């Protein structure tokens, strides 16, 4: 009879151990699956964020290219106009070139931080507008 009680206790202990093992195994596998789902979601968020940043940079590059071409035509037109007004086309180009040389000297020797600060403010305002 004692043997029956002992075997019943051993059977209960074995069932409890099996139950605990199953519970631990289920918890570990569930935790692993949850962790993998979180990692996959984070990777997808990073991909989306990266795609947004690449699209922003690409659109800014296109806008800068359009602006540079437009400014080049505007500068050429201004040089031609000044040259027509002065009677010699080369004088128009000379005056426009001197203007850019003066700007270069101003931003490199007289106020070197001014251009950096202006660009910094523009970039910060563009970043604030995207958020």
pLDDT per residue over 63-101, tens digit each? Answer: 999 999 999 999 999 999 999 999 999 999 999 999 999
Q: How many domains does the chain have?
A: 1
d(CA 59, CA 52): 11
Query: Quick one: pLDDT at residue 124?
Result: 80
**pTM of this prediction?**
0.55
Residues 6+ positions from 81 with CB-CB distance below 8 Å? 92
Residues 78/96, Cβ–Cβ less than 8 Å? yes
Q: Which residues of the chain, if any, have pLDDT below 50?
A: 5
Residue 83 burial (CB count, 10 A): 18
* Domain, as residue range, for 119: 2-130
Residues 75/93, Cβ–Cβ less than 8 Å? no
């Amino acid at each position: 009879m004692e043997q029956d009680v002992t075997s019943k206790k051993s059977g209960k202990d074995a069932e409890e151990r099996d139950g605990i093992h199953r519970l631990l195994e289920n918890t570990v596998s569930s935790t692993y699956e949850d962790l993998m789902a979180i990692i996959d979601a984070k990777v997808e968020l990073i991909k989306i964020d990266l795609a947004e940043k690449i699209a922003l940079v690409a659109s800014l590059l296109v806008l800068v290219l359009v602006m540079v071409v437009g400014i080049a035509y505007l500068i050429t037109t201004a040089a031609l106009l000044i040259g027509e007004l002065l009677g010699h086309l080369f004088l128009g180009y000379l005056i426009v070139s001197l203007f850019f040389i003066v700007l270069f000297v101003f931003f490199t020797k007289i106020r070197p931080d001014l251009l950096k600060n202006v660009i910094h403010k523009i970039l910060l305002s563009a970043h604030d507008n995207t958020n």
